[in-house]
């Protein structure tokens, strides 16, 4: 991934035709902290298509666009080449990946498309996207292009009837910490970093061009006056088939989200949640083990030092010079410093905590509507019974 980024930044240094910026509101050019991400409808569909083509493996790609006064406008995107095809020559593939990106950006720029990298996107399965590589990649992106985001798209949740897109950014404090790769308890407390403050979640907005709105209205019209529907109604009842062609139009109402049974979804969630909690426990156990040994070492040192102090005191009372100098009375030893330095990184715990949090939130988000759906079904039934009796 690093080479890919280099390629992108190299392209940026290419001589860009001087753009006339006069007459533009300077407020639009100022760099402000991002507060929302605005996706073009085209980008949404491209991401959806790419991720669907690659299911069940994760798909990644680059986002192109520009940030205007705190709102990141993503106007185009293109998929990255998948690595799974030729694993044997990983090195060569990496090179080609960079070359591919460069060429793609050049091609797009030639035809007036935005060729300004603003981040990347990734597909995920049930929100299990928290891992080191995501953070590493996003760190590199934000290092190179300060205003970049990662869009996480969940195809499994989307098939349940609601588009699931999240825009994330690493917080500034985390960027600072990650630069030093120092994730000890002390530094976390010092920077007031909690698992929830690693990432900053931005609201996602979808925007259509006027021309596109026209197309959508047209498609909508086709739905309500579809020829296949008219045909099946106007035919005599003897030729009746209890099916209306399902492919009426892409904009016919989508009732996937009224589906009642979704145990499989919950089951898988619980399964994943269980696994992650176990990982979290292991991580915790490792850290506690480290702390115990640290404690032991400290105690041992304390004991020796107090013993030496005692000896010094007895010698002083006898009027003799002390055996141990000040150096020997310090509570430190090479073993202790080594142990202190080898504190297990808390990064993994932070990530796992976030992952668990995501799972739990998703379960909650799912359970709310599921319960309402059940009560809707129940009341519909009661009404029906009351009507029939």
Partner 1 sequence: MAATSSFLHLQFSPNSASATPASSSASQTFSVAVGPVVLFSVLDHFLRRPDQQTKVIGALLGVRSEDGSEVEVRNCFPLSHTETNDQIVVDADYLNQMYSLHQRVNSKETIVGWYATGTEIQPSSVWVHEFFANETAPFQPVHLLVDTSLSNDKMASRAFVSSSVGVPGSEHPGSMFLQIPCDVKYFDAERSGLDVIALAKDTPDKSANILSDMDNLERSIVQVQEMLENVSAYVDAVLSKKEQPNNAIGRFLMDTVSSIPRIDAGEFEKMFNTHLQDLLMVVYLANLTRSQLAIAERLHKMV
Footprint on residues 103-162 left by partner 1 (CB under 8 A)? 103-104, 107, 110-113, 155, 158-162
| List of residues 6+ apart from 264 with CB closer than 8 A | none
Nearest-angstrom CA–CA distance, 45 and 48: 5
Work out whether 249 is an interface residue with partner 1 (CB under 8 A). yes
Site for partner 1 in 327-356 (CB under 8 A): 353, 356
- Site mask for partner 1 (CB under 8 A), range 212-241, x = bound: xxxxxxxxx------x----xxxxxx--x-
Work out whether 321 is an interface residue with partner 1 (CB under 8 A). no
Closest by Cα among 89, 86, 82, 44 to 60: 82
Beta strands 71-79 and 36-40 are: parallel
Nearest-angstrom CA–CA distance, 51 and 165: 12
Site for partner 1 in 257-296 (CB under 8 A): 257-258, 263, 266, 270, 273, 277, 280, 284, 291
To the nearest whole angstrom, how small is the minimum distance from the Cβ of residue 154 to partner 1?
10
Structure-token match 């050019």, residue found:
29
Closest by Cα among 33, 19, 117 to 76: 117
Cβ closest to partner 1, residue 13 vs residue 243 = 243
Tell me, rounded to whole angstroms, the distance of Cα 35 from its chain centroid.
Answer: 17
Cβ closest to partner 1, residue 227 vs residue 325 = 227
Give all strands (DSSP E) within the chain, no chain letters. 36-40, 60-68, 71-79, 117-123, 149-153, 165-170, 199-202, 204-207
Give pairs for 229-235: CB < 8 Å, separation 24+: none
Cβ closest to partner 1, residue 75 vs residue 312 = 75
Q: Which of 76, 116, 122, 312 binds partner 1 (CB under 8 A)?
A: 76
Beta bridge pairs of residue 38: 73, 205
To the nearest whole angstrom, how small is the minimum distance from the Cβ of residue 363 to partner 1?
4
To the nearest whole angstrom, how small is the minimum distance from the Cβ of residue 275 to partner 1?
13
Quick one: tokens of 4? 């890919």
Work out whether 195 is an interface residue with partner 1 (CB under 8 A). yes
Site for partner 1 in 166-185 (CB under 8 A): 185
To the nearest whole angstrom, how small is the minimum distance from the Cβ of residue 335 to partner 1?
21
Q: Which of 32, 205, 268, 292 binds partner 1 (CB under 8 A)?
A: 205
Work out whether 357 is an interface residue with partner 1 (CB under 8 A). yes
Give all strands (DSSP E) within 159-281, no chain letters. 165-170, 199-202, 204-207
Q: Which of 14, 53, 172, 278 binds partner 1 (CB under 8 A)?
A: 53
Nearest-angstrom CA–CA distance, 105 and 303: 66
Site for partner 1 in 8-47 (CB under 8 A): 38, 40-42, 44-46
Work out whether 4 is an interface residue with partner 1 (CB under 8 A). no
């Amino acid at each position: 991934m690093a080479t890919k980024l280099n390629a992108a930044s190299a392209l940026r240094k290419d001589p860009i035709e001087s753009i006339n910026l006069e007459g533009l509101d300077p407020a639009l050019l100022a760099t402000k902290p991002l507060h929302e991400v605005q996706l073009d409808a085209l980008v949404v569909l491209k991401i959806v298509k790419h991720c669907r083509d690659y299911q069940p493996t994760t798909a990644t790609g680059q986002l192109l666009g520009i940030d205007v006064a705190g709102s990141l406008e993503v106007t185009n995107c293109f998929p990255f080449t998948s690595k799974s095809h030729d694993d044997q020559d990983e090195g060569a593939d990496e090179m080609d990946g960079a070359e591919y990106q460069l060429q793609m950006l050049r091609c797009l720029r030639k035809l007036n498309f935005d060729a300004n990298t603003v981040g990347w996107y990734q597909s995920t399965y049930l929100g299990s996207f928290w891992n080191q590589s995501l953070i590493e990649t996003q760190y590199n992106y934000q290092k190179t292009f300060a205003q970049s985001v990662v869009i996480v798209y969940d195809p499994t949740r989307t098939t349940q009837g609601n588009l699931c897109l999240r825009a994330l950014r690493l917080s500034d404090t985390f960027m600072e910490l990650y630069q030093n790769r120092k994730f000890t308890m002390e530094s976390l407390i010092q920077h007031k970093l909690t698992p929830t403050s690693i990432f900053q979640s931005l609201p996602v907005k979808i925007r259509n061009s006027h021309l596109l709105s026209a197309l959508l209205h047209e498609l909508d019209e086709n739905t309500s006056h579809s020829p296949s529907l008219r045909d099946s109604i106007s035919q005599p009842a003897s030729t009746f088939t209890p099916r209306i062609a399902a492919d009426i139009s892409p904009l016919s109402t989508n009732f996937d989200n009224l589906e009642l049974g979704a145990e499989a979804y919950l089951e898988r969630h619980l399964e994943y949640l269980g696994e992650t909690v176990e990982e979290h426990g292991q991580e915790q156990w490792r850290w506690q083990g480290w702390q115990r040994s640290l404690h032991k070492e400290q105690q041992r040192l304390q004991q020796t030092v107090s013993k030496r102090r005692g000896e010094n005191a007895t010698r002083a009372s006898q009027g003799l010079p002390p055996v141990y100098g000040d150096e020997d009375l310090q509570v430190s030893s090479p073993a202790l410093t080594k142990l202190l330095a080898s504190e297990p990184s808390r990064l993994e715990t932070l990530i796992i905590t976030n992952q668990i949090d995501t799972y739990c939130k998703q379960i909650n988000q799912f359970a709310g509507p599921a319960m309402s759906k059940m009560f809707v079904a129940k009341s519909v039934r009661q009404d029906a019974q009351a009507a029939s009796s």
